[in-house]
Amino acid sequence: GTKERKSGEAGDARAFDSEEKKSMVLAGKGGKKNKRAVNEHKFEATVKGYTAGTPTWFTIHVREYFSTTNFLDFSIRRRYSDFINFRKRLVAEFGNSRVPPLPGKFQGFDAKDKFLQKRSHGLEIFLRRVVNTDIFQEHELFAFLAKDKASQPLTLGSQQH
């Protein structure tokens, strides 16, 4: 498989293939016995912009933490309809009252750029609420924020605390 670089906590670097990473991610999400790993494996997501057109794509910068010091940075592209489908899956699992709303249709005569800026900002608020809610740190969030073929290259790193 393809090899990626990962910085170890002790500063050493090692390569692992995508299957090994996948099993590591799933292990990090573990059951109740592995509560510490669940709490450490988190996401940050920021809507960095959009590409207007048919369809419009929103660029999302994702930082995926595997521990408090090791993380993976990458960018993904999602359409508004992807957000709608993601929210529907969350509502089906957690109920409408627990899932934050998406930005609605903006009324009026806003120029397309202004409309897309408002939508982009609203999508960022939605994502921030989802990634900061522990119950959503599960498979649907992993699937929505997963790196895909249209993504930007990965950057692996570590933070010193």
Q: What is the pLDDT of residues 40-53, one digit of tens each?
A: 678 889 999 999 88
Q: Count the Cβ atoms, other than its own, within 10 Å of residue 66.
A: 19
pTM score, two decimals? 0.66
Cα(61)–Cα(117) distance, integer angstroms: 16
Domain covering 3-158, topology: PX Domain (3.30.1520)
Predicted local confidence at residue 109, as pLDDT? 58
CA distances from 20 to 3, 15, 23, 26, 64 (A): 10, 10, 5, 10, 16
pLDDT given for residue 136 in this prediction: 81
Domain ranges in the chain are: 3-158
The SS3 call for residue 46 is strand
Give pLDDT < 50 ranges for the chain: 1-38, 149, 161
What pLDDT, on the 0 to 100 scale, is given for residue 28?
Answer: 36
pLDDT for the residue numbered 38: 44
What's the pLDDT at 86?
A: 93
Q: What is the pLDDT of residue 80?
A: 93
